[in-house]
């Protein structure tokens, strides 16, 4: 009789206290064996494997026409990293940036280098000339601009790696020690969000990665 009652209550879902306790304990043990979910960060600076020179980076050039004589830079003590910061997160070519900067009344493109989303690096303003990319901080700096808007999204890994490679090559070329006093985001020097809320926090890791190959 007792066996029948237990069978009936189990069938109807009306577990006796001891059966309910056993069920909960089994469920608890089962949950303990579930692997915790590993949440990967949305973006990580890629590691630098080796140091490349500017020639090894195969930097593209354009025959850009500037409107006035440009001042020769007095030296190189720092590198400033920018993003294009257009209304959409999109690539843009060097001639288009050149035309935009001519429209600002400048001699032409203000950045020395443009890095595209696929990692391609191209020359903007010739390196020996003073740029127009960071107000009151152009005399001794090199300006690097990443195409895209990194207030809206993270840069592709190929582009981030190219930024590291180019910055490392310039540090080596000009004997610059990579620190937060020599490698800046544009916002460190002027009132702007550049190089973007989603990229700027990774500059310390960029500096660390460059130190490891110099």
Strand order of the sheet with strand 78-83? 121-123, 113-115, 141-146, 78-83, 183-185
Burial status of residue 51 (CB atoms within 10 A of its CB: 0-12, 13-18, 19 or more): middle
Per-residue pLDDT tens over the stretch 1-13:
434 333 333 433 4
Strands, E assignment, the chain: 78-83, 113-115, 121-123, 141-146, 183-185
State pTM to two decimals: 0.81
Per-residue pLDDT tens over the stretch 11-24:
334 334 434 444 45
* Lowest-pLDDT choice from 27-41, 54-68, 105-119: 27-41
Q: b/e map of 81-107 (b: 16 or more CB within 10 Å)?
A: bbbbbbeebebbebeebbeebbeeebb
Per-residue pLDDT tens over the stretch 103-148:
999 999 999 999 999 999 999 999 999 999 999 999 999 999 999 9
pLDDT at residue 89 greater than cutoff 50: yes
pLDDT > 90: percent of the chain: 78
């Amino acid at each position: 009789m007792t066996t029948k009652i237990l069978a009936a209550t189990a069938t109807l879902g009306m577990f006796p206290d001891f059966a309910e306790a056993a069920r909960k304990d089994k469920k608890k043990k089962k949950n303990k064996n579930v692997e915790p979910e590993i949440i990967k960060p949305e973006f990580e600076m890629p590691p630098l494997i080796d140091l490349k020179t500017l020639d090894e980076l195969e930097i593209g050039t354009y025959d850009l026409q500037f409107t006035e004589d440009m001042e020769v830079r007095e030296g190189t003590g720092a590198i400033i990293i920018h993003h294009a910061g257009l209304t959409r997160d999109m690539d843009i070519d060097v001639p288009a940036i050149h035309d935009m900067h001519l429209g600002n009344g400048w001699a032409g493109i203000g950045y020395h280098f443009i890095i595209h989303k696929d990692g391609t690096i191209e020359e903007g303003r010739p390196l020996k000339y003073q740029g127009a990319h960071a107000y009151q901080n152009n005399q001794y700096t090199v300006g690097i601009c990443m195409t895209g808007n990194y207030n809206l999204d993270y840069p592709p890994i190929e582009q981030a790696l190219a930024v590291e490679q180019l910055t490392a090559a310039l540090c080596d070329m000009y004997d610059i020690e990579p620190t937060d006093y020599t490698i800046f985001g544009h916002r460190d020097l002027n009132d702007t969000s550049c190089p973007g809320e989603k990229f700027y926090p990774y500059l310390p890791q960029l500096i660390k990665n460059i130190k490891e190959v110099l």
